[in-house]
Amino acid sequence: MGKKLRAQRYGRGTGPYRAPPNIHIAPASIPDWPETMKEGKVVGVVEDIVHDPGRYVPIAIIKVWRNNRVHRIYLPSVEGLYVGKKIEIGIDASLDLGNVLPIGKIPEGFYVSNIEKVFGDGGKIARASGTYALIRAHDRKNGLTEIVLPSKKVIRIDSRNRCQVGIIAGGGREELPLVKAGNAYHKWRRKPRKWPRTRGTAMNPVDHPHGGGRRRRPVPRTAPPGRKVGIIAPRRTGKRD
């Protein structure tokens, strides 16, 4: 008797395929304080740049003095950020590396990251390591800004949406080889992914459509989602004449 494919087991969301709990040190998002969303700004200092086990991008801890209290904000670090740098968040923030301000106040051609998809959501777009979006144009009449996403897709968002100036740090992480399996283990143990992964061709035919030899067997279009692996509904099979 065979077993369920890996693609089918992913869907159940059981332990090996689920992200471990409490993997982040804190939610890394732009604060929704009134002075950061309306008139004004808050000023802080980068206290430390730390590693977050659940992310590939380093996290900047920003110390802010607000309402006679010390607050700490967690934001994705951008390239060039350093401990002790002053960070401004708000409409009146200056155009400087790492600062947070409405995207409509940033000139065309600038690289921005951690962009809000909806005003006040804290940042959803271009947050992965090494990613950024390019400001293409501003539509002042309709209050919209056109940006080029990391996928090269062009979208238009509200010019009030806030973003960070600069490119997200950690972009060169894939250039360094893992060298040994132990590093891969620690890499994937904090992610919603099962590791190691057994090749389908190394299994038996009852366990995987690719099992029982090197030949990949085609799968019909009408197959259930869990069986659709490898060559799906090819136009033709066999050797060419």
Q: How high is the pLDDT of residue 58?
A: 95
d(CA 71, CA 149): 32
- Phi and psi based region of residue 114 (left: phi greater than 0; alpha: psi -120 to 50; beta: remaining): left
Q: Report pTM.
A: 0.82
Q: How high is the pLDDT of residue 109?
A: 95
- CATH number belonging to domain 34-173: 2.30.30.30
- Domain locations in the chain as residue ranges: 1-18+192-241, 34-173
Per residue in 59-99, pLDDT tens? 999 999 988 899 999 999 999 999 999 999 999 999 999 99
d(CA 96, CA 86): 10
d(CA 217, CA 105): 55
Paired sense of beta strands 41-50 and 59-66, if any? antiparallel
What would the two tokens of residue 219 be? 């799968």
C-alpha angle 164-169-171 in degrees, rounded to nearest 5: 130
d(CA 129, CA 83): 19
Which sign, positive or negative, has the C-alpha torsion 157, 43, 69, 55? Answer: positive
C-alpha angle 162-107-149 in degrees, rounded to nearest 5: 60
CB 33 within 8 A of CB 66: yes
Q: How high is the pLDDT of residue 87?
A: 96
DSSP state at residue 195: S
What would the two tokens of residue 238 be? 């066999």
- pLDDT below 70 — which residues of the chain? 1-2, 214, 241
What residue type is 32 in one-letter code?
A: D
What would the two tokens of residue 200 be? 């389908």
Count of positions (residues) in the chain: 241
d(CA 89, CA 31): 9
What would the two tokens of residue 17 be? 């395929």
Q: How high is the pLDDT of residue 204?
A: 87
